[in-house]
Amino acid sequence: MHLRNKLILSFIFIVFIPVIIVGGFLTNELKKLALEDAKQQAVADIQRVRERTLEVLKVPVYISNNILIDQQLKQIVNKEYKTRYDVVTSYRGYNVFKQYRKMYQEEISSIRFYIENKTILNNWEIIPVSQKVKDSSWYTIAQEGKGLSSWLYIEDETYNDQRLVSLVRKIDYPENSTFGVLVISVNPKSLDLILSQESQPIMIVDEHNNIISTNQIGDVGKYLNKVIYSSDLANGKSGIFQVELEGKPTYIFVDSIVVDQTLNQLKIVSFTPDEEIVGNAKQFGKMGIVVAVVGLCVALLLIYYMSNLLTKRLIRLSEQVNQVGKGNFNTHISIDGKDEIGQLSKQLKVMVENTNHLINEVYESNRQKSLLERKQNEIKFKMMASQINPHFLFNALESIRMKAYLNGEKEISQVVKLLGKLMRNSIEVGSGKVKLISEMEVVKSYLEIQKFRYGSRLDFEIVIDPLSKSMTLPPLIIQPLVENAVIHGMENNENGVIVSVHTQMTKMGLLVKVKDNGVGISEQKIDEISLLLSDQEKEGDRIGLRNVHQRLQLSYGKNSGLMIYSKEGKGTEISFFIPSEEEVGCLE
């Protein structure tokens, strides 16, 4: 069989058939993925609605718990009044219900308290129980609730008798052998607002499947089975169900809203037609099949054309290779093209032309390899030579210190000891935090060395709050501030400088102050420094301060950066604040 025919058959079996099979499989998987994504999105939407609804429903529960222990209300509703004036007077002194309605006007619409007391008046808040109320189902449910709250969809006589979801709870007064029934109606606008922000049809229903809120116009107050019929819904089950809605497969998502300290629960019901979920996937699948078939047909024609072109060039190349195989290195090799055949022809031509130079190329290659190895060995030697163990420096300094000490140069010996200690702390510093007392030892060593340099021109004071010694902070935070105080405090100051370092432990955390009595800084210069501290890119002569400032803010937040206070002629103070571990935990 010719190569051309082999290529065409290979294309059919290797590409055409697998593409059709894989395309069908991927289309089906795309539908499944679209369905699964839609389910997950619907569940997430329901969870979001549930959390927001719970925030609204917790308000009536909170209010009912407070009213349960309201002694003033207890006295008002259990008192026998002789005149209407006495009742009105008692009512005027009690405005708790009004305050709750004003405070939670977005969550509740009314608060009503029903009690059997013929001497009280109906002010739409405290209401004497009528026979109609006694005969109502919600009043009976409240009596049987044993003081626990229930969510019921009942008429609100203070809200044009509109049916609203309400918290109903019995309030017992055993000392008076009486009881009242508290009714707190939820503001329907709050629930409507929550549901109106959802794109899919969604509703909240009570335990009797009454629709109490929905984003579908005209469905509020209807029975759920009149809108969506499902035996699972009728049985009060939660989960994901598939039903026929208007002749179309539809997925229904049901979740419960359970509020603490209540007897019953509400439910969230959302439904999405199957066509909306997988419709786009089906459309893309059909388009993909059409495009694949057209593309494969065009590709088949191109394969036929390219196979003819390919076989002709391969035959020419084979003839030229045969000439070279016979030892004819003068043969003319020329096949145009930038594909593999053209490249193979060019490489064959290069091979023939360079046969006589092969020995020189091998020699050059070996020479280059030897040179490279020598360079690498030199680099390794230099790297090894540069790796001086820090312990060598410490041991050398210790030898210098002992020599000075034995020669009676105790001051030099002490300074060398401090320098070695300072170098060890600087070199061995890690990425973790250190205790304040360790950091202050570094500061003291640095100041002692500077004191040796400047003599009477430098004096210093270190005051450590005992309560702050165990505090931890990033290493090398205070020393750069002290170095800054020494350097800039000496500038234009013939009388010398006094540097003081104070730590103070407060309830909120650690306050560190570094102060000098130098010439001070102008307000304009302070502004420039403040800008420099916050700029990570700009170059300047305050790199140490900027490094400390940014490390503090990265470790403890924006409020822990450097604070600079200065007046010209009166010195400069730089301070920073590190919150305690409890405060850091709160920030996180």
DSSP 120-140: S---SSEEEPPHHHHHSHHHH
Range name among 59-63, 82-86, 289-293, 584-588 with the lowest pLDDT average: 584-588
* Per-residue buried b or exposed e for 28-43, using 16+ beta carbons within 10 Å of the residue's own CB: eebbeebbeebeeebe
pLDDT at residue 244 is higher than 90: no
The predicted pLDDT at position 387 comes to 41
Cα–Cα distance, 253 to 271 (Å, whole number): 6
**Token representation of residue 6:** 């082999």
For the chain, the structural domain boundaries read 1-315, 356-386, 456-587
Q: In what order do the strands lie in the sheet containing 150-156?
A: 126-128, 108-115, 178-186, 162-173, 150-156
Helices 188-196 and 17-68 pack at an angle, to 10 degrees, of 160
Cα–Cα distance, 440 to 463 (Å, whole number): 10
The predicted pLDDT at position 153 comes to 93
Q: How confident is the model at residue 386 (pLDDT cuts 50, 70, 90)?
A: very low
Cα-Cα end-to-end distance for the chain: 74
Cα–Cα distance, 223 to 297 (Å, whole number): 57
The predicted pLDDT at position 400 comes to 65
Q: What is the pTM of this model?
A: 0.48
Pairing of strands 126-128, 108-115: parallel
2 versus 377: which is more confidently predicted?
Answer: 2
The predicted pLDDT at position 60 comes to 95
The predicted pLDDT at position 7 comes to 67
Please classify residue 346 by burial: count the beta carbons closer than 10 Å to its beta carbon, then call 0-12 exposed, 13-18 middle and 19+ buried: middle
Kindly report the three-state secondary structure assignment for every residue of 159-227.
Answer: CCCEEEEEEEEEEEECCCCEEEEEEEEECHHHHHHHHHCCCCCEEEECCCCEEEEECCCCCCCCEHHHH
Task: Kindly list the distances between the CA atom of residue 205 and the CA atoms of 106, 154, 261, in Å, as whole numbers in the listed order.
Answer: 20, 13, 19
Residue type, 94: Y
Cα–Cα distance, 447 to 489 (Å, whole number): 13
**Mean pLDDT across 194-218:** 89
* Per-residue buried b or exposed e for 542-555, using 16+ beta carbons within 10 Å of the residue's own CB: beebbebbbbbbee
The predicted pLDDT at position 383 comes to 35
Please report the sign of the dihedral spanned by the C-alpha atoms of residue 238, residue 243, residue 246, residue 252: positive
Q: Which residue has the tokens 């079996």?
A: 13
What residues have CB less than 8 Å from 162, skipping those under 6 apart? 155, 156, 188
Residue type, 299: A
Range name among 326-335, 375-384, 466-475 with the lowest pLDDT average: 375-384
Pairing of strands 239-245, 126-128: unpaired
What residues have CB less than 8 Å from 382, skipping those under 6 apart? none
Mean pLDDT of the chain: 80
The predicted pLDDT at position 316 comes to 73
The predicted pLDDT at position 173 comes to 93
Q: In what order do the strands lie in the sheet containing 497-505?
A: 458-463, 497-505, 509-516, 572-579, 563-566
Residue type, 479: Q
The predicted pLDDT at position 141 comes to 93
The predicted pLDDT at position 504 comes to 94
Gyration radius of the chain's alpha carbons: 44
Cα–Cα distance, 189 to 353 (Å, whole number): 90
Digit-coded pLDDT (tens) for 35-75? 777 778 888 888 999 999 999 999 999 999 999 999 999 99
360 versus 57: which is more confidently predicted?
Answer: 57
* DSSP, res 373: H
Name the helix (H) or strand (E) containing 28: helix 17-68
Report yes or no: 141 and 153 within 8 Å, Cβ to Cβ.
no
Digit-coded pLDDT (tens) for 493-508? 778 899 999 999 998 8
The predicted pLDDT at position 460 comes to 94
**Mean pLDDT across 526-550:** 76
- Classified by CATH at the fold level, domain 456-587 comes out as Heat Shock Protein 90 (3.30.565)
**Token representation of residue 528:** 């420039």
- Percentage with pLDDT > 90 across the chain: 32
Dihedrals φ, ψ of 247, to 5°? 80, 5
Q: How confident is the model at residue 273 (pLDDT cuts 50, 70, 90)?
A: confident
Three-point CA angle 233, 238, 244, nearest 5°: 40
Digit-coded pLDDT (tens) for 506-525? 988 999 999 999 888 888 88
**3-state DSSP helix/strand/coil percent for the chain, to nearest 5?**
55, 20, 25
* DSSP state string for 270-329: EEEEHHHHHHHHHHHHHHHHHHHHHHHHHHHHHHHHHHHHHHHHHHHHHHHHHHHHTT-T
Digit-coded pLDDT (tens) for 296-346? 777 777 777 776 766 777 777 777 777 777 777 777 666 766 676 777 767
227 versus 475: which is more confidently predicted?
Answer: 475
